[in-house]
Amino acid sequence: WLFDSSDTELPGGFEPDELSENSPAKMVQAFPQDLVLVGRACVLIRGISSRLEAPWSLSRQWAAYAQAAIDRREKAGTVVVETEGARPTLAEVGKRFGFALATLRDWVLGIVVQTVFAILPTRLKEHIMK
């Protein structure tokens, strides 16, 4: 919902409008500081894309990077699989938090590299790709 501008209906009677009384944002008690600027940028881009009637979704933009990061973590054996009904230990929670941060780092790095590469002059891009 926050990172996706699709017209998908939200469950539980929530509305996608951030300013609505039925917004899921009203239920959020804490939000990771690392994602605040990403969230703000998404809201701005969603507004622009809505005004230009050009559908855009951060979720779709990041999907390939997210899957690649998850695949790398699975190969490295750093993905924690929760068993049904079991309460995670503090060590498992720490491992998950580390995984989440590493995944976020990989996403951001992928987007930064893609963005920087997109603005490079063509001749420099060709030189880099050799």
pTM: 0.39
User: Residue 2: which residues within 8 A CB-CB, separation 6 or more?
Assistant: 25, 39, 42, 43
pLDDT averaged per 10 residues in sequence order, the chain, 130 residues: 64 76 77 76 80 79 81 69 60 74 83 83 82
Q: Got the DSSP string for 5-48? A: ---PPPGGG--S-TTSTT-GGGG-----GGGHHHHHHHHHHHHH
Which pLDDT does position 70 carry in this prediction? 79
12: which 2 tokens?
A: 């539980």
Which pLDDT does position 94 carry in this prediction? 74
- Rounded Cα distance between 35 and 8, Å, is 22
